Chains A and B, each alone.
Chain A
Amino acid sequence: MELLFENARLIDPASGLDEMGAVLVRNGRIAGIFLLKDGFSGEFTHLLPSQRFNLKGRWLVPGLIDMHVHLREPGEEYKETIATGTRAAAAGGFVAVACMPNTKPVNDDVTVTTFIRHKAAMEGSARVYPVACITKGQAGQALTEMGMLLEAGAIAFSDDGRPVKDSAVMRLAMEYARGFDALIISHAEELGLVADGVMNEGRMSQLLGLKGIPSVAEEIAVFRDIALAKYTGARLHIAHVSTKAAVELIRRAKAEGVGVTAETAPHYFTLTEDAVEGYNTNAKMNPPLRTEEDRQAVIEGLKDGTLDAIATDHAPHSSLEKEVEFDRAANGIIGLETAVSLSLELVRRHGMNPLQLIACLSWSPARILRVAGGSLRVNEPADLCVIDVDMPFEVTRENLFSKSCNTPFLGQRLSGRVVLTMKAGVVTHSLLESGFITLP
């Protein structure tokens, strides 16, 4: 079985390729990459019209990889399941996701990791890499069985949402993980300073009379974890960076050669604390939306490579958790399906190179997680994503595949949309009417 994607703008951060050309897919793998500049002019006359996609200049990029999502299964299937969450991932252009361990029960045991892997293999529209807990029960005390969890398929370790408070435990975790060359992902917040805060501390929290979370809560935790990574030699990844100070700490650590990587989420470079106005619980997340100064620093961090990856922190919640008093509302928003539209703004408004943007969404997370994919290479599985950078995307309940619709972008019209996602040669999402017809 052969398919040809032709007349595409091929963007491959792994090789630095950004050229017009075509990709031939055969039996689920990339069989050939042909560039217009090398004289390719639409050979393959043996292919039927139904086997040819004329992409008309749309972007053809490696299948995207989101290294930070919450799939809610097991335990909170009313919010999301592995099936619906990975379906939303496919709709957002993602062929793989790393899911955080704060399920019910938490993923601190081989049985849970194995369950997630099996379920994903059976029902998933995307590959699922489970992130297991650093400590049993996310309690911040006893280490999980990291070696066995890795064997069962865990990709990294994190006590996401409930950061390890005791520095000695974090040190131990990093030291032990280093023995397995395993990745530690830090949700960086100094909990004592977070206290009962519910949004960024500052002008807006004062105007709304809501208790604040100071940005130094993130700064201090990032500083600690970088210091521990430097001391132990562990591989550290900082999740969802939201503050200017954290970006600067990571920049400095990288310059010193510390083995640290970092991600941010689209909402941190798109929104500020102002989005909370009106007690909008769909703008409540952890870490909280910050100030314009922080937002600009996050964008700068992405552009200069301080922040390696864009991850969504896709966090589905139902109205039970969101249609409540602001301080009782759960943290988090869904993000898989809006990530590409929002991230394209970095290219449109902030002068980011498309190659770099796609790297943040594919090649970089693949390297950090040490998984396959994230590149366009002959003989590799055909993980592909086609992006129409101009197609409007109305964010409505009906247009979302996620089981939840807790997003501050609900009701908005975004620009740019994923029109096709292919995982190992299988179409996992397509806006095309049916089968293999030419795009309009």
Chain B
Amino acid sequence: MNNRLSVKHILGVEQLTLEDIRLILDTAEALKEILDRPIKKVPPLRGCTVVTLFFEPSTRTRLSFELAAKRLSADTVSVSAATSSVLKGETLLDTVKNVEAMRPDILVVRHSSSGAPHFLARHLTGCSVINAGDGINQHPTQALLDLFTVRERLGRVKGLKIAILGDILHSRVAHSDIRIFKAMGAHVFVSGPASLLPIGLEALGACVTTKVEEALASADVVMLLRLQKERQGRSLIPSEREYANFFGLVQERCLNLAPDAILMHPGPINRGVELTSELADSQQSVILNQVTNGVAVRMAILSLLWADRS
């Protein structure tokens, strides 16, 4: 079996081959047990420098990347927009060229502009770029950990019905998830308020419906998304109450799910809006498993990129 990625950067799901995806998942599976060891550190990334450049706030993803890197003995440095030269008027390219001049190996980038990691990957010669979320475009490592979680819990992906509900318009997670689950042979349904279902969504290969019940019927996986108020210029829905009423996941809407269906959420969750507190904490919920798996999947990605470099 080939144990090399076909790509130098992790920018978007569509750039990964099925072999890449399987390799990342299998590697993550092997690495995951390290997280449960008493001494959670192994040496494969010794001498590797990972810089996380976050131009947008993040808790989970950043921590996840940093822990993943540290577990594998990489040196990690974190830069956030608030403490960087961006505020002094430096261009993104100059900022990152300066970072590159200090010879990091892997750059983990989150940015509010769609395509910013692609832009950096095009201009940097010396390091690999991982997209940790760009604007409303993609969040490929989240999609990989979501896929990993589904495979781990349900044992397969092909043929499953995946329902993604909520703010599809602004969700980079949804845009990556739709692609990755389609690529793996699942049936992807998306639903939510029509004003949050963007024009052109069919291009990603999802079945789009404004009827939540249709998306939920016999679904094996329900992926819930947060309303991204910070990305909406103006509110695209009348109120959260109205949203919860028509589109939020409540117990009655779960009746027609597949028997062993799981509930997922990339976080942070708004309890009582996209799903009830009870469902968030229920046996069906794998929300915290996703978080744990995130570290394993990112360990896999870092080690595979590093293996290709060295």
Q: Does the CB pair B201–A279 fall under 8 Å?
A: no
CA distance A209 to B172 in the complex (A): 8
Q: Does the CB pair A208–B115 fall under 8 Å?
A: yes
The answer to whether A325 and B92 touch (CB under 8 A), given A209-B137, A279-B118, is yes
Q: Does the CB pair B200–A203 fall under 8 Å?
A: yes
- Chain B residues near A203 (CB-CB < 8 A): 200, 203
Q: Which residue of A lies closest to B138 (CB)?
A: A209
CA distance A201 to B201 in the complex (A): 11
The answer to whether A326 and B200 touch (CB under 8 A), given A211-B136, A279-B119, is no
Question: How many whole Å from A209's CB to the nearest CB in chain B?
Answer: 2
Flag A199-217 by CB within 8 Å of B: 1 or 0 each. 0011111111111101000
Nearest 3 Cβ contacts at the A-B interface: A209-B137, A279-B115, A206-B200
Flag B143-182 by CB within 8 Å of A: 1 or 0 each. 0000000000000000000000000000010010000000
The answer to whether A196 and B233 touch (CB under 8 A), given A279-B119, A325-B111, A327-B114, is yes
Q: Does the CB pair A325–B116 fall under 8 Å?
A: yes
Flag A170-212 by CB within 8 Å of B: 1 or 0 each. 0000000000000000000000000110000111111111111
- Chain B residues near A324 (CB-CB < 8 A): 91-93, 119
The answer to whether A201 and B93 touch (CB under 8 A), given A208-B114, A327-B114, is no
Q: Which of B111, B123, B204, B233 contacts A206 (CB 8 A)?
A: B204
Q: Does the CB pair B200–A278 fall under 8 Å?
A: no
Flag B201-212 by CB within 8 Å of A: 1 or 0 each. 101100000000
Question: How many whole Å from B233's CB to the nearest CB in chain A?
Answer: 6
Q: Does the CB pair A201–B115 fall under 8 Å?
A: no
Q: Which of A195, A202, A204, A210 contacts B137 (CB 8 A)?
A: A210
Q: Does the CB pair B200–A204 fall under 8 Å?
A: yes
The answer to whether A323 and B93 touch (CB under 8 A), given A209-B135, A279-B119, is yes
The answer to whether A325 and B203 touch (CB under 8 A), given A210-B137, A211-B136, A279-B119, is no
Q: Does the CB pair B115–A210 fall under 8 Å?
A: yes
- Chain B residues near A320 (CB-CB < 8 A): 91
Q: Does the CB pair A202–B114 fall under 8 Å?
A: no
Flag A308-340 by CB within 8 Å of B: 1 or 0 each. 000000000000100111111000000000000
Task: Decide if B198 is an interface residue (CB 8 Å cutoff).
Answer: yes
Interface size class of A (residues with CB under 8 A): 20 to 34
Residue of B122, B123, B137, B172 ringed by the most chain A CB atoms within 10 A: B137
- Chain A residues near B119 (CB-CB < 8 A): 279, 324-326
Q: Which of A209, A212, A325 contacts B199 (CB 8 A)?
A: A212
Interface size class of B (residues with CB under 8 A): 20 to 34
The answer to whether A207 and B115 touch (CB under 8 A), given A195-B233, A324-B92, is no
Question: How many whole Å from A121's CB to the nearest CB in chain B?
Answer: 38
Q: Does the CB pair B114–A206 fall under 8 Å?
A: no
Question: How many whole Å from A398's CB to the nearest CB in chain B?
Answer: 22
Q: Which residue of A lies closest to B92 (CB)?
A: A325
CA distance A431 to B98 in the complex (A): 43
Q: Which residue of B lies closest to A201 (CB)?
A: B199
Residue of A214, A323, A326 ringed by the most chain B CB atoms within 10 A: A326
Task: Decide if B113 is an interface residue (CB 8 Å cutoff).
Answer: yes
Flag A274-290 by CB within 8 Å of B: 1 or 0 each. 00001100000000000
Q: Which of A196, A205, A323 contacts B200 (CB 8 A)?
A: A205
Task: Decide if B105 is an interface residue (CB 8 Å cutoff).
Answer: no
Question: How many whole Å from A200's CB to the nearest CB in chain B?
Answer: 10
- Chain A residues near B113 (CB-CB < 8 A): 325-328
CA distance A214 to B198 in the complex (A): 11
Q: Which residue of A lies closest to B139 (CB)?
A: A209
Question: How many whole Å from A408's CB to the nearest CB in chain B?
Answer: 15
CA distance A214 to B204 in the complex (A): 19
- Chain A residues near B93 (CB-CB < 8 A): 323-324
Q: What are 13 of the A-B contact pairs (CB < 8 Å)?
A: A196-B233, A201-B200, A206-B175, A206-B200, A207-B200, A208-B115, A209-B138, A210-B114, A212-B199, A323-B123, A325-B92, A325-B115, A327-B113
- Chain A residues near B118 (CB-CB < 8 A): 278-279
CA distance A278 to B11 in the complex (A): 11
Q: Which residue of A lies closest to B114 (CB)?
A: A209
Task: Decide if B134 is an interface residue (CB 8 Å cutoff).
Answer: yes
CA distance A433 to B9 in the complex (A): 49
- Chain A residues near B199 (CB-CB < 8 A): 201-202, 206, 212, 214
Interface residues of B in 81-121 (CB under 8 A from A): 91-93, 111, 113-116, 118-119
Q: Which residue of B lies closest to A320 (CB)?
A: B91
- Chain A residues near B201 (CB-CB < 8 A): 206
- Chain A residues near B172 (CB-CB < 8 A): 209
Residue of A201, A203, A206, A212 ringed by the most chain B CB atoms within 10 A: A206
Question: How many whole Å from B90's CB to the nearest CB in chain A?
Answer: 11
Q: Which residue of A lies closest to B12 (CB)?
A: A209
Q: A209-B134, A326-B114, A326-B116 are in contact. List 15 more A-B contacts (CB 8 A).
A: A202-B200, A207-B200, A207-B203, A208-B114, A209-B137, A209-B172, A210-B136, A211-B136, A212-B198, A279-B114, A320-B91, A324-B119, A325-B111, A325-B115, A325-B119
Question: How many whole Å from A149's CB to the nearest CB in chain B?
Answer: 36
Residue of A196, A208, A324, A327 ringed by the most chain B CB atoms within 10 A: A208
CA distance A376 to B172 in the complex (A): 58
Q: Which residue of B lies closest to A276 (CB)?
A: B115
Interface residues of A in 208-258 (CB under 8 A from B): 208-212, 214
Q: Which residue of B lies closest to A200 (CB)?
A: B200
- Chain B residues near A278 (CB-CB < 8 A): 118, 122
- Chain B residues near A212 (CB-CB < 8 A): 198-200
Q: Which residue of A lies closest to B137 (CB)?
A: A209
CA distance A324 to B89 in the complex (A): 13
CA distance A195 to B116 in the complex (A): 20
CA distance A67 to B296 in the complex (A): 60
The answer to whether A206 and B91 touch (CB under 8 A), given A325-B119, A326-B114, is no
The answer to whether A206 and B203 touch (CB under 8 A), given A278-B118, A325-B116, is yes
CA distance A205 to B114 in the complex (A): 10
- Chain B residues near A210 (CB-CB < 8 A): 114-115, 135-137
Question: How many whole Å from B86's CB to the nearest CB in chain A?
Answer: 11
Q: Which residue of A lies closest to B123 (CB)?
A: A323
Residue of B111, B200, B203 ringed by the most chain A CB atoms within 10 A: B200
Q: Does the CB pair B175–A209 fall under 8 Å?
A: yes
CA distance A328 to B114 in the complex (A): 10
Q: Which residue of A lies closest to B93 (CB)?
A: A323
Interface residues of B in 120-141 (CB under 8 A from A): 122-123, 134-138
Q: Which residue of B lies closest to A212 (CB)?
A: B199
CA distance A324 to B200 in the complex (A): 26
- Chain B residues near A201 (CB-CB < 8 A): 199-200
CA distance A201 to B136 in the complex (A): 14
CA distance A348 to B111 in the complex (A): 44
